[in-house]
A and B are shown apart, each in its own frame.
Chain A
């Protein structure tokens, strides 16, 4: 899963959001790394809707314009959790190795 997709799903984890709110939340959650453009956001939402990972929660008209809010489906939530678990496992590999090499350096250092 690509980083923008991951943060779009993460943004929808707590509550249904509309397009602009997803852009803002993904930006905050990623510490400013993910800056979604509108074109990319809706391409991703189309793809995620086709894969049944997100769905339209509500359609309303605000200021004369259609506004849809999106929410995670059960499938989307489990895909997000799987990806998070995969990243934790990948991070663990590096952390364990780096902890071992630090310990080995301390042991071999002259007193």
Chain B
């Protein structure tokens, strides 16, 4: 075996084992034929193509040939990503309490929030992961209901000057408060993503967990919590970086990633857009880092939507 052949064999590891058993020898024959005879290393172009196509085979996106199957698969991943995001965001009070139980940790305040919402969202996530969308939808609507009940029961609202006139109107105050909560938009968007799936024919779900672990870890890192040192000031830059990475992965490998990222970014942007106008009304808009980063997040969202549209068209073309 020559050095070039050995290097090509190593690159072919990007493909799953079953695929390699069927195709590796044949591909190697072609690679050795196409490569120049005096070459000792694979060309960058060939190497990149092997890695990208190998990862596409692994993700399964290469088998989603028709518009319908691609749409359903993207909706499924979008719903699951939103539910992971929802669980991570709404589980903060629980994480906070657990963190305080550890020796050496203390705080002057208690992070509030309903524990029913993350529990229902977790059940919705498990149901959606196994393609029981009817149950998942019911749990998601239940989680949204729990959020409404919690905020109304505790009379939660943002005490900001421009909305002071709404003091007397409880429903409006609660509605405004809910519009500023990411969990509201997560529930709403996840439910919208699941509705078309209720009628779609579903392939049997075999191993739904592998990618979920990755997504959950990514979103957990993005969310300010004790695990990442409550790094709130880093949250927006991390969201921008994660959104950019999703756009790149969506364009090169799997369009479903940029579609799901668009939905998650939207669920994070909408509460910010509901909240920030109060600050802008009070203090005026300025070139503050937070405003710039919010603009960057919206820009990244637009990039992901554009990438999703272009990559989805390319995906279904022969």
Chain A residues in the interface with B (C-beta under 8 A): 1-2, 5, 18-20, 23, 37-43, 46-48, 50-51, 53, 62-63, 65-68, 79
Interface residues of B, count at CB 8 A: 26
Q: Is B29 touching A20 in the complex (CB atoms < 8 A)?
A: yes
Residues in A whose Cβ lies below 8 Å from that of B54: 39
How far is A67 from B29 in the complex, measured between Cα atoms in Å?
Answer: 7
Contact flag A1-B29 (CB < 8 Å), given A38-B46, A40-B53, A43-B53: no
- Nearest A residue to B54 via CB reads A39
How far is A41 from B26 in the complex, measured between Cα atoms in Å?
Answer: 12
Residues in B whose Cβ lies below 8 Å from that of A42: 23, 26-27, 30, 53
Q: Is A67 touching B26 in the complex (CB atoms < 8 A)?
A: yes
* CB pairs A–B below 8 angstroms (14 shown): A1-B317, A18-B26, A19-B26, A19-B30, A20-B34, A23-B30, A23-B33, A37-B45, A39-B46, A40-B49, A65-B29, A67-B29, A68-B26, A79-B318
Q: Is A39 touching B49 in the complex (CB atoms < 8 A)?
A: yes
How far is A66 from B62 in the complex, measured between Cα atoms in Å?
Answer: 23
User: Which residues of chain B (10-26) have a CB below 8 Å from chain A?
Assistant: 23, 25-26
Q: Is B318 touching A41 in the complex (CB atoms < 8 A)?
A: no
Q: Is B29 touching A39 in the complex (CB atoms < 8 A)?
A: no
Main secondary structure of the interface of A (DSSP, over half): helix
Residues in B whose Cβ lies below 8 Å from that of A62: 29
Residues in B whose Cβ lies below 8 Å from that of A38: 27, 30-31, 34, 46, 49-50
- Nearest B residue to A59 via CB reads B26
How far is A11 from B62 in the complex, measured between Cα atoms in Å?
Answer: 23
How far is A11 from B307 in the complex, measured between Cα atoms in Å?
Answer: 31
Shortest CB distance B7–A (Å): 13
Shortest CB distance A40–B (Å): 5
Select which of B26, B51, B318 is within 8 A of A65 by beta carbon.
B26
Residues in A whose Cβ lies below 8 Å from that of B56: 43
How far is A48 from B318 in the complex, measured between Cα atoms in Å?
Answer: 8
Select which of B25, B30, B51 is within 8 A of A20 by beta carbon.
B30
How far is A39 from B253 in the complex, measured between Cα atoms in Å?
Answer: 13
Residues in B whose Cβ lies below 8 Å from that of A47: 62, 65, 318
Q: Is B302 an interface residue (CB 8 A)?
A: no
Q: Is A19 touching B27 in the complex (CB atoms < 8 A)?
A: yes
Q: Is B97 an interface residue (CB 8 A)?
A: no
How far is A25 from B63 in the complex, measured between Cα atoms in Å?
Answer: 26
Q: Is B28 an interface residue (CB 8 A)?
A: yes
Residues in A whose Cβ lies below 8 Å from that of B57: 43
Residues in A whose Cβ lies below 8 Å from that of B33: 19-20, 23
Shortest CB distance A86–B (Å): 13
Residues in B whose Cβ lies below 8 Å from that of A20: 29-30, 33-34
- 9 more contacts with CB within 8 A, not counting A5-B318, A37-B49, A40-B53, are A19-B27, A23-B33, A37-B46, A38-B31, A38-B50, A47-B318, A50-B63, A65-B29, A66-B25
Shortest CB distance A83–B (Å): 9
How far is A53 from B57 in the complex, measured between Cα atoms in Å?
Answer: 20
Contact flag A19-B65 (CB < 8 Å), given A38-B49, A39-B49, A40-B49: no
Q: Which 6 A-B pairs have the closest CB atoms?
A: A39-B49, A20-B33, A19-B30, A37-B49, A39-B53, A65-B25
Q: Is B52 an interface residue (CB 8 A)?
A: yes
